[in-house]
Amino acid sequence: MGWRAIFWVLAGIGVVGLVFAALRLPETLRPDYRQPLHLGSVVGRFGELLKHRLFMGYALTSTFQFAALMSWLSGSPFAFIQGYGISPRAFGLIFAGAIVLFTGCNLMNARFAPVFGSSKILRHAVIVPIVFGPAGLVLALIERQTGAIGLWPFLLFIVPHVAMMALVVPNATALALQRYPHMAGTASSLMGVLQYGVGSLFGVGSLFGVAVGQAFDGTMVPLTAALAVAGTLCFASHRLLVGRADG
């Protein structure tokens, strides 16, 4: 269908989402929590949230895991297609396999979050990025020196790391919003700003994606380095800023 079909599909999804939101999604915020939509009040509420250590802990935990996803999206086509010479069709199959795991993690989170709680799941989920990210980088450095690793072992480190997006981001977001019900919309919006940003120059997640694409050198090192940094910062944000406060 050609690359332009991507944008037609996205436009269609956007229209469907807008229609369903308008027709089937009523306002749920209590009237006494509602505030006028003025730029000054929005900026003021952003400033208030930025001062809250717990909120920033959840927001940055989510943001750096999102950065891992952006690194995967930006770096994996270069690393797999150009670096290893696999066909675009084969890359599509690998990408589809990652999506299957991602979907499985989403379903698992929906099933077990009511049982174990978002806090416990988040505490354990952030361990995966801190272990698998640096381990993948070590593997890439070994391969750059020896050329003896090959593509497939990297998938065992990269795909589970990226799949933790399905466990980290929803639970971090839910926990952040639960603690600020009087401005849940502002909290959600600020978390989005930190993740995506105003274009790639200001979004933490987007910056990771841009850096990986620009730094590609024909090896897995740029991609795995970005994943290692993102995984380390994700874990550190949770442990240092949230700690046991979410328990």
Tell me how crowded residue 122 is: count the other CB atoms within 10 A of its CB. 25
Cα dihedral value 203, 189, 227, 170, nearest 10: -170
Among 22, 51, 56, smallest CA distance to 204 is for: 56
What's 76's DSSP letter? H
Which pLDDT does position 197 carry in this prediction?
63
In angstroms, the Cα distances linking 127 to 2, 71, 118, 206 are 40, 19, 15, 23
Please write the tens of the pLDDT for every residue from 129-179: 999 999 999 999 999 888 888 888 999 999 999 999 999 999 999 999 888
Please write the tens of the pLDDT for every residue from 27-59: 887 888 777 778 888 888 888 898 999 999 999
Q: Contact 61/168 with Cβ under 8 angstroms?
A: yes
Share of the chain above pLDDT 90, in %: 50
pTM for the complete prediction? 0.84
DSSP-assigned states of every residue in 96-161? HHHHHHHHHHHHHHHHHHHHH-HHHHHHHHTHHHHHHHHHHHHHHHHHHHH--S-SHHHHHHHHHH
User: Residue 243 above 90 pLDDT?
Assistant: no
Which pLDDT does position 201 carry in this prediction?
38
